[in-house]
Amino acid sequence: MPFSDPGTGRIIYDSGRGTEPEKVILGEDCNCGDILGYSSGWKRALATAGSVVQGRLVALADGKSGGEVPASANAVVGGYSGATAGDYVYVDEGTNNGRITQTAPSTSGDANTIIGVALSATKVLFFLNSRADSTA
């Protein structure tokens, strides 16, 4: 079964920030588990060349543009399917802002920074900001 990020219905198992994680103000709507980056506000990350928004945080709840959402750079998130345990994850390219993939983006100029590792077929441990930003 190929890897799938559902975009909704993700579960935060560990915020990595205790019971009171920091909050950010959103520049657009997001879902719990979306990867966020900063580009004139906290927005859903995207790996696509020309519109790259490097992943910096995981949204720990759903949020609306202009509202606050708790976020963490080190969270364990579940609700995925088909992940290969031990393989790295990246910000998705294309039109799936905020989602992840286990396929390293390879188009020239795409962001291909490793942002986490699959713990199982359904859970990912994120360690955003632990590696220098990189592009294909």
Assign 100 to helix, strand or coil.
strand
Tokens representing 3 are: 């890897």
Q: Is residue 6 part of a domain?
A: yes
pTM (predicted TM-score): 0.89
pLDDT band at 45 (very low <50, low <70, confident <90, very high): very high
Range of the domain at 54: 1-131
Structural domain includes residue 136: no
pLDDT of 68-107, one tens digit each? Answer: 999 999 999 999 999 999 999 999 987 889 999 999 998 9
**Given the structure tokens 């364990």, which residue do they identify?**
76
Nearest-5° Cα angle at 115, 113 to 118: 130
- What total of structural domains would you count in the chain? 1
- List CB contacts of 72: < 8 A, sequence separation 6 or more: 15, 16, 17, 21, 22, 57, 58, 60, 126
